[in-house]
Structure 1
Amino acid sequence: MPATQSPFESPEEGAPISQEKRLGDRLVLGLEKIGGSLNNFSNRIGSEAWWPTTLDHECEKAARILSSFCKDGCYPERSSAPDSLGPKSKPKIVVKIPQRVFQNCVGLAIFTVMRSGFSISTAGGSGVVIARKEDGDWSPPSGIHVQTLGLGFMVGIDIYDCIVVINSYEALKSFNRFRFTLGGEISAVAGPIGVGGLLEVELSETHKPLWTYMKSRGIYCGLQLDTTIVIERYNENARFYGKKISIDEIFAGQVTNVPLQAKMLMEAARRAEGRV
């Protein structure tokens, strides 16, 4: 468990929100019908939904993604709700993130992105961020929208799931801004996947503010140098929690009523670090 004290302890409630924050979800809402069709197609081919959905669905998706990266699977039961989203079959565990990685981190960003292009690739997606609170437990999630413009050789379309492991509170504080650049303002490298002594070496030699883990479906080739912009979904956070709420308040756990889907994600995070 990280010893550094969380900076998200006692934010002021009702802090003024800039006009820019209110623009984060408007384009998404305007294109909701198109996004629904794209997500349905993604689910039919066995991928997670990448177009931004309501935060209850984003939490369910994030719990599935997180569990699919775990050593023991820990796959959550699929919701029986008629509007439940997600692929029809359980994903294969392609990359296993060691428990030590989860135990030592201070936050997790979990999202799905669709990428397409040739020479210049573009990508968009959605997900959530959770933070470790002062008491060592996990916070409820904050919704995020992801946009990427990459330079490099790429062919075709790909949908991939990603977990960004946040290793310092300084890096975590970047996520409480309305918009910031992942891989630009903060360096991110592929995270360790070794076991035993090899894992210890990797943990000591590759310690960076952000570690990334990715598994993809579809066809693509080559290497991309990407700049990923992470944007807060302010309006969706307010809808999900029933009031205007800042990321600081969410990360500090100052949520009056935590929705069931958020609790399910928080439970998946506890399982990932071996606490359940």
Structure 2
Amino acid sequence: MLCYAHFTAFTRGRHHCRFCGGIFCRACTKGRCLMPIKFRMRDPQRVCSECYKELEPLQGVLKNSISNASQSAKHDVIDWTCGRGWLNLPVGLSMEHEIYKAVNTLRSYCQVSRLQPEKSIPHAILNGASGLAILTVGKVGALFTYKLGTGLVVSRMSDGSWSAPSAILSVGLGWGVQVGAELMDFIIVLHGLETVKTFSSRMHFSLGAGMSVAAGPVGRVFEADLCTGDRGSGMCYTYSCSKGAFVGASLEGNVVVTRMDTNLRFYGDPYLTTSDILLGMVEKPKAAEPLYSALDDLYANIRI
């Protein structure tokens, strides 16, 4: 209906414009944007080139009113009456779910640090943090282990405030004297602005060594990692709480990827980059208020 090219099964498929309803090819429906409120859709939708030109001037208003980031938190953060209050799943399908998982991780860590201060992250390391990455990872294997998980990363501004969150995916491989399966909640302390810039890359690699022991409900892991990506390299310190049955010492390699589509669905801006999010160019989203409350509690314990 726009370029009049013939549709094909694989190279030029059919796509409906969500605004006007017309049928267009892939090349003519590359744009994604938020729709007016009457459509009752909070995720950016695929539209044709002509409708994109019409809707683009409205995106600033729509991002502040109907985007997922502008809504109140959907998940009840502390709900001990259901399984998800006790156990984070390794893969979250939305930013809202990642925020919920991150808050659960931070709340659990604060409880442990109050009861067992010797197992907490040293205050000097937290005070010197330039950012935090919080994610849940599943790990399984013998000798060779495989890891998969998702989470989010936030950077710490010079005034002590926090940036908007950016979603990440972690895939890893380990080798060593190890066997078992476990579920790990990670808090990764980013040391220095260069490490934050590394996490703002679309993809970066990390290499580290550590020891892991998990037996039953709780175990502890500490790792020191070197991260490198197309925007630089830096050091980070990894602390985690593990659940499962696992023991071993290993050399670990991980690939961390920014989930651009998850960020797009949350913020509703196709031009938004990870650097914009982590360097403080995006306002704190209303949907992430439970996360900022948990981060304030974490640092309040340090000040005390």
Counterpart in the other structure of 1:37: none
1:251 aligned onto 2:278: yes
Shift of residue 93 of structure 1?
9.2
Give the counterpart letter for 2:261 in structure 1: N
Q: Deviations over 1:119-153 (max 9, x none)?
A: 11101001000001243311111000000111113
* Larger CA deviation: 150-159 vs 247-256: 247-256
* Counterpart pick for 2:239 among 201, 213, 217: 213
Paired with 2:209 and 2:155, the residues of 1 have a C-alpha distance of 18
TM-score (norm 2): 0.58
Q: How does 1:9-158 map to 2 (within 5 A)?
A: 43=83, 46-70=86-110, 95-158=119-182
Shift of residue 154 of structure 1?
2.5
Counterpart in the other structure of 1:268: 294
Paired with 1:50 and 1:94, the residues of 2 have a C-alpha distance of 27
Paired with 2:122 and 2:111, the residues of 1 have a C-alpha distance of 7
Distance 1:66 1:44, change over 3 A: closer
SS at match of 1:154: strand
Q: Is the 8 A contact 1:241 1:257 kept in 2?
A: no
Alpha carbon RMSD of aligned pairs, Å? 2.9
Unaligned stretches of 5+ residues in structure 1: 1-41, 75-91, 191-207
Counterpart in the other structure of 1:15: none
Aligned length: 197
Distance 1:270 1:217, change over 3 A: same
Q: Is the 8 A contact 1:121 1:151 kept in 2?
A: yes
Instruction: Looking at secondary structure, tell me which structure has more strand per residue.
Output: 2
Paired with 2:173 and 2:93, the residues of 1 have a C-alpha distance of 22
* Counterpart pick for 2:196 among 160, 164, 172: 172
* Identical residues among aligned pairs (%): 30
Q: How does 1:181-200 map to 2 (within 5 A)?
A: 181-183=205-207
Q: Deviations over 1:83-109 (max 9, x none)?
A: xxxxxxxxx999322444322211001
Distance 1:73 1:57, change over 3 A: farther
Q: Deviations over 1:57-79 (max 9, x none)?
A: 101110121222226879xxxxx
Paired with 1:133 and 1:119, the residues of 2 have a C-alpha distance of 41
TM-score (norm 1): 0.64
Give the counterpart letter for 2:273 in structure 1: S
Distance 1:66 1:120, change over 3 A: same
Paired with 1:130 and 1:270, the residues of 2 have a C-alpha distance of 13
Paired with 2:195 and 2:128, the residues of 1 have a C-alpha distance of 14
1:237 aligned onto 2:263: yes
Give the counterpart letter for 2:92 in structure 1: P
Paired with 2:85 and 2:140, the residues of 1 have a C-alpha distance of 16
Q: Deviations over 1:24-64 (max 9, x none)?
A: xxxxxxxxxxxxxxxxxx94794211013211110111012
Distance 1:121 1:264, change over 3 A: same
Q: Is the 8 A contact 1:110 1:162 kept in 2?
A: yes
Shift of residue 216 of structure 1?
0.5
Counterpart in the other structure of 2:67: none
Q: Is the 8 A contact 2:154 2:165 kept in 1?
A: yes
SS at match of 2:119: coil
Shift of residue 263 of structure 1?
2.0
Paired with 1:154 and 1:69, the residues of 2 have a C-alpha distance of 25
Paired with 2:295 and 2:85, the residues of 1 have a C-alpha distance of 26
* Larger CA deviation: 139-148 vs 237-246: 237-246
Paired with 2:129 and 2:209, the residues of 1 have a C-alpha distance of 14
Tell which structure's C-alpha radius of gyration is larger. Answer: 2
